A and B are shown apart, each in its own frame.
Chain A
Amino acid sequence: MASDLLSIAVSGARAARGALDVTAQNIANASSEGYVRRSLRIEEVSASGGAGRIGDISLSGSRIAEIRRNADPFLQGEVRRTSGDLERANVELKGLRNMESALEQSGVFTSIVEFEAALQQLAGDPVDPSRRAAVIGEATTLANKFNITASSFDAVGDGLRFEADAQVSEANIIGGELARVNLRLTRAGSGSSDRAALLDQRDQLLERLAGFTSVTTSFESDGTVAVSLGTNPPRSFVQGGTSGALTSAVAADGTLSFAVDGQAVSPGSGSLAGASLALTELASARTRLDTIAAGLADAVNNAQAAGVALDGSPGQPIFSGTTAGTLQVVMTDGEGLATAPAGAGAGSRDDANLSALRQSLASLDPAQQLSGLLFDVSSKVAGRNVTQSALETIASSARVSLEQQSGVDLDAEAANLIRFQQAFQASGRAMQVASDIFDTLLGIGR
């Protein structure tokens, strides 16, 4: 007889103990980030009898065949892809929102309207010193508001670039980690709990990397992964135990470009793609704001040059600077406003030049231009908002289906706990029976 009841029972008890350990591990990690539910595959150990001994019972109990990780590579890929898209939308939306706030909360639109109103008020009495002072005051406010908007834009760009910089160095750290995990995976025994933990780590690193740029992965049978970053075309980043270097460069207009090991790559998705998109938007909005500021300053200064000030001298420029950031009021005294046309005497109440100034401002319409800029930015924000919430739903449903499939269900674990506890008790009972049989045998002949 090739079977041994006691050792069968012991192997059963050992398998049940292992299953209980795995269950306890699952319960302990029910809310651990990136933990994939483990399950145990228990298989029978038996040998077929030799030639001529077909009828023999040849059983050896059970053993733990594999600690299985219940991860679905497709769902994990979906989570990576959708979370990358969501990150891109989030960062772009955040950048655009900050731009919108910079434009809206600096009140530059209101200050243009106030400047227009002050000019219109001056038309009521072009020689009134207080009305003239009001125009200079509003012009100063206007220039300050442009400056504030420009520096807020700078701050938005700095923030985006700073974050992108930090993410690039984090992506490089993740690349190094992935290469190390790859090396350890080649050494881990297949089906071991060590391997499962390494795979958890690998998937978590991949997910974090996908949050920065789009990743293309190819998995080997031993669990190691080769990673390429970005699109157009994807550049190889992690290959076996080696990882490349992701770098970023800032162009003159503040936009970002990326390269892996010196080869240009576009991030495709993820927060780096979002930052890159937002910075491009920022650069174009910045140019438009500068154009509005320069146009306004030009219109006012040109009209000034065509007229004479209150003392009859030729009109001097009110503004200096050609960008929103450098716009400044250089006229300090309201008497310098050239409301009267050239040739008018000192103290003239003729407002022909003021009318010309107001007319050229009206045809330039900086208020409308700024409102248009604000409209463009805010409608982009509104549009991206819709995209972002759609992507959020998609990403969260991908994550939920992955969690459904790979997460820990405490109720199922509770049931497993009872089940394996009973299996353990039953194996114990089998050992009891073996002992009883042995006692019976020993008692023969007493």
Chain B
Amino acid sequence: MINLSTGAFYERTTRQIGSLRARAESLQQQIGTGERLERSSDDPVAAARLRMLGRTERLADVDSRNSQLAEADLSLTDKTLGSVADVIVRVRQLAVQAASSTLSDEQRSAIGVEVASLRENLVVLANSRNIAGHALFGGQTAGAAYVDNGTTVQFVGTGNATPLEIGEGQSVEPSLTGPEVFEFGTASGPSDLFAVLGDLASALAAGGQGAIDASSAALADLDAGLEKVTTAQTVVGSRLNWIDLMSERRENNAERIADERSDVGGADIAVTMTRLQETLTVLEASQASFVRLANLSLFSMLR
């Protein structure tokens, strides 16, 4: 005879109903949080993947901030280069005027004054600061990029700018150094814009045939300088394009990461809801049948 122990019946039922309740609660939690994993041990592989995705996301966040910084610096460089080009164009106009023999020495010296002040403007532009307050064309130096000692303007920055990481191992130099913008080669050897403008201004102030000759000679140098500046603008433009491209890649990556994150660790609401409903149905049925079975005692028949 099989002895149906009352104690075993209650123990079994408690266990079954308890495990059903636990399952329902875990499903409910998945729906509430939208996460499939409550702790790493729920799915160690997925949890490790999620950790690494989170790390990539966090570092990409810094990348995008750094690339915004580089973009801002490069736009500033671009604008400054535009102003430099304007100055060169203006000086060139003045040099063409001054080269004309119809002008008097007074008129030339007036032009010379304007060229001298344009040279000062140029020095100010060369010492522009980036958005962090550092010298835009100074490379890695802590102070100013150029020092004007009255007659000559000296570059005191360092040879290269610090490249900025913009993600996926790529980096970009967020600015140009002074020599890359202001120095160029002329027929008489290397020179820079400050020297050209300074020489022109002093020749115009001196007057006479020397002023006319200097003005026409300066034209070729100014053309070379302008070319150098426009080349620099092209470089800056291509760097900005590169940053744009990388930003786009980063956005795509972020999207992919978000997708993978929800694939790996997200709870599928439809499936989870269905499972919860199924579990609840079974739970209700177990509870109802437990009550009926528990009432089925022979003692209740003994009256």
Q: Contact residues of A with B, CB < 8 Å? A: 30-31, 37, 70, 97, 100-101, 104, 109-110, 113-114, 116-117, 120-121, 123-128, 345-351, 367-368, 371-372, 374-375, 377-379, 381-382, 385, 396, 399-400, 403-412, 414-415, 417-418
A100 near B40: Cβ-Cβ < 8 Å: yes
Residues of B within 8 A of A406 (CB): 5
Can you name the residue of chain B whose Cβ is closest to the Cβ of A396? B15
Least Cβ–Cβ distance between B260 and chain A, in angstroms? 16
Q: With contacts A347-B142, A375-B47 known, is A404 near B8, CB below 8 A?
A: yes
Q: A123-B164, A375-B40, A411-B6 are in contact. List 12 more A-B contacts (CB 8 A).
A: A100-B39, A117-B58, A117-B59, A121-B65, A348-B142, A349-B141, A381-B40, A381-B41, A404-B3, A410-B298, A411-B4, A411-B297
Bound Cα distance A113, B54 (Å): 9
Does chain A have a CB within 8 A of B220?
A: no
Q: With contacts A374-B48, A375-B40, A378-B41 known, is A400 near B58, CB below 8 A?
A: no
What is the interface of chain A mostly: helix, strand, loop, or mixed? helix
* 19 pairs, A vs B, C-beta closer than 8 Å: A37-B3, A97-B41, A123-B164, A124-B62, A124-B66, A347-B142, A349-B142, A371-B52, A375-B48, A378-B41, A379-B44, A379-B45, A381-B40, A382-B41, A400-B12, A409-B6, A411-B298, A415-B298, A417-B302
Partner of A403, one of B11, B44, B63: B11
Residues of B within 8 A of A101 (CB): 39
Bound Cα distance A376, B2 (Å): 47
Q: With contacts A403-B11, A410-B297 known, is A120 near B66, CB below 8 A?
A: yes
A127 near B134: Cβ-Cβ < 8 Å: yes
Bound Cα distance A382, B299 (Å): 47
Least Cβ–Cβ distance between A432 and chain B, in angstroms? 25
Can you name the residue of chain B whose Cβ is closest to the Cβ of A70? B3
A414 near B299: Cβ-Cβ < 8 Å: yes
Bound Cα distance A114, B162 (Å): 23
Q: 9 closest A-B pairs (Cβ-Cβ)?
A: A407-B5, A347-B142, A378-B40, A381-B41, A403-B8, A414-B298, A379-B44, A349-B140, A124-B66
Bound Cα distance A104, B8 (Å): 40
Does chain A have a CB within 8 A of B80?
A: no
B62 near A117: Cβ-Cβ < 8 Å: yes
Instruction: Give the interface size bracket for B toward A.
Output: 35 or more
B11 near A350: Cβ-Cβ < 8 Å: no
Does chain A have a CB within 8 A of B158?
A: yes
Q: Which of B10, B41, B65 has the most CB of A within 10 A?
A: B41
Partner of A414, one of B134, B162, B302: B302
Can you name the residue of chain A whose Cβ is closest to the Cβ of B134? A349
Bound Cα distance A409, B297 (Å): 10
B141 near A404: Cβ-Cβ < 8 Å: no
Least Cβ–Cβ distance between A100 and chain B, in angstroms? 6
Bound Cα distance A116, B63 (Å): 12
Does chain A have a CB within 8 A of B168?
A: no
Can you name the residue of chain B whose Cβ is closest to the Cβ of A378? B40
B41 near A117: Cβ-Cβ < 8 Å: no
Bound Cα distance A403, B52 (Å): 50
Partner of B142, one of A117, A346, A418: A346
Least Cβ–Cβ distance between B137 and chain A, in angstroms? 13
Does chain A have a CB within 8 A of B7?
A: yes
Does chain A have a CB within 8 A of B285?
A: no
Residues of A within 8 A of B3 (CB): 37, 70, 404-405, 407, 409, 412
A123 near B7: Cβ-Cβ < 8 Å: no
Residues of B within 8 A of A414 (CB): 297-299, 302
Can you name the residue of chain B whose Cβ is closest to the Cβ of A310? B142
A409 near B162: Cβ-Cβ < 8 Å: no
Q: With contacts A348-B142, A418-B302 known, is A31 near B7, CB below 8 A?
A: yes
Bound Cα distance A385, B44 (Å): 12
Residues of B within 8 A of A385 (CB): 41
Bound Cα distance A287, B184 (Å): 62
Q: Which of B3, B142, B158 has the most CB of A within 10 A?
A: B3
Residues of A within 8 A of B106 (CB): none
B297 near A404: Cβ-Cβ < 8 Å: no
Residues 36-75 of B, flagged 1 when their CB comes within 8 A of A and 0 if not, give: 0001111111011001101100110111011001000000
B8 near A374: Cβ-Cβ < 8 Å: no
Residues of B within 8 A of A412 (CB): 3-4
Does chain A have a CB within 8 A of B132?
A: yes
Least Cβ–Cβ distance between B222 and chain A, in angstroms? 32
Instruction: Mark out the residues of chain B between 10 and 25 whose CB falls within 8 Å of any chain A CB in the assembled complex.
Output: 10-12, 15
Residues of A within 8 A of B59 (CB): 113, 116-117, 120
Q: With contacts A104-B40, A114-B58 known, is A408 near B298, CB below 8 A?
A: no
Q: With contacts A104-B40, A123-B165, A409-B4 known, is A350 near B58, CB below 8 A?
A: no
